[in-house]
């Protein structure tokens, strides 16, 4: 499987290297928005914790009185997108719904044409979710979360020279007391499910069993039955999952465990200074 991923990765990285070179040398030119743009992205394909990082930055800036708009594609959505005005993951995608749920005073705009979407929003700062490869839009601060050992990369490490900050993936449970000392059954549909299970263990939980699903998985009634059956067999006290999965399953006996991303102080200081200009 790893060999197959590497075969797919080579042309993918090559195409993105060519695109980046065209923008770097001015052959292609990005479009600029009227307010600062802060991008949060990575060179790996998923599993970096971009959504918790976007939430952390959006909350930080909103708490300081700034009007924040998050521009995101909304992977896995069935609707056309637009401003997230309901916690509907089928319409907007699971990650935009989680961002809006955690950041009520922030505009979350879903759609492929992020320049056009942003043009209709009045704000102080735009946060570009998963934006490192979205070179069509000019950015004023590029933050890249580095996951060196990810199984698949969209770009080679040479692309990191275009980033203002390259930071490690640093997450923790927002409330470790939810799981500490408990016997859990955990399930998730992320790019890196094992990372979530490991975070639960690090917080002091006993993960009696787990089930992993593909990223952005649409849960069926049969999936939920399988989860409950496996949890019972494992003798778990409680079933837990990620916020991203919880907004899709919406089951009272399946508890969401919020995750926080720890952004370095120098990143937050630069973002605050940029917006204050």
The DSSP symbol for 160 reads G
Q: What is the mean pLDDT of residues 187-205?
A: 94
Lookup: tokens for 197: 């299970």
- Domain coordinates of the chain in residue numbers? 2-170+262-276, 173-260
Average pLDDT over residues 183-197: 94
The answer to whether domain 2-170+262-276 and domain 173-260 are alike in fold is yes
pLDDT at site 166: 98
What secondary structure letter does DSSP report for 195? H
Q: What is the pLDDT of residue 11?
A: 80
pLDDT at 172 over 60: yes
pLDDT score, position 1? 46
Class of domain 2-170+262-276: alpha beta
In this model, does residue 121 exceed pLDDT 70?
yes
**pLDDT for position 5:** 61
pLDDT tens for residues 238-247?
999 999 999 9
CA distances (Å), origin 24, targets 33, 37, 136:
19, 18, 12
Helix (H, G, I), strand (E, B) or coil at 255: strand
Could you give phi then psi for residue 220, rounded to 5 degrees? -105, 170
Arithmetic mean of pLDDT, 202-213: 96
Query: Predicted confidence band at 98 (pLDDT cuts at 50, 70, 90)?
Result: very high
Residue 142 predicted with pLDDT over 50: yes
Contact 125, 275 (CB under 8 A): yes
Band of residue 81 on the pLDDT scale cut at 50, 70, 90: confident
Please state which CATH class domain 173-260 belongs to: alpha beta
CA distance 103 to 174: 15
pLDDT (tens digit, 9 = 90+) per residue, 25-43?
A: 999 999 999 999 999 999 9
Residues 216-255 as b/e (b if ≥16 CB within 10 A, e otherwise) read bbebeeebbeebbebbeebebebbbbbbbbbbbbeeeebe
Average per-residue pLDDT in the chain? 93
């Amino acid at each position: 499987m790893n060999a197959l991923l590497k075969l797919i990765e080579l042309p993918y990285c090559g195409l993105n290297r060519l695109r980046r070179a065209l923008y770097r040398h001015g052959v292609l030119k990005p479009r600029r928005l009227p307010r600062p743009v802060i991008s949060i992205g990575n060179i790996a394909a998923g599993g970096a914790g971009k959504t918790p990082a976007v939430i952390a930055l959006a909350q930080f800036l909103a708490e300081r009185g700034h009007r924040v708009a998050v521009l995101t594609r909304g992977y896995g959505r069935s609707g056309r997108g637009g401003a997230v005005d309901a916690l509907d993951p089928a319409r907007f995608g699971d990650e935009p719904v989680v961002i809006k749920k955690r950041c009520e005073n922030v505009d979350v705009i879903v759609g492929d044409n992020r320049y056009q979407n942003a043009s209709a929003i009045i704000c102080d700062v735009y946060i570009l979710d998963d934006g490192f490869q979205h070179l069509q839009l000019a950015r004023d601060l590029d933050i890249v979360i580095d996951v060196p050992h990810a199984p698949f990369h969209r770009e080679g490490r040479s692309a990191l020279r275009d980033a203002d900050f390259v930071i490690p993936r640093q997450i923790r449970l927002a409330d470790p007391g939810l799981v500490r000392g408990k016997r859990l059954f955990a399930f998730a549909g992320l790019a890196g499910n094992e990372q979530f299970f490991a975070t639960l263990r690090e917080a002091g939980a006993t993960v009696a069993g787990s089930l992993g699903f593909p990223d952005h998985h649409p849960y069926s009634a049969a999936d939920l039955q399988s989860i409950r059956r496996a949890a019972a067999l494992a003798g778990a006290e409680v079933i837990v999952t990620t916020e991203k999965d919880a907004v899709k399953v919406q089951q009272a006996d399946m508890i969401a465990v919020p995750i926080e991303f720890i952004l370095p102080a120098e990143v937050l200081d630069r973002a605050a200074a940029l917006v204050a200009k």
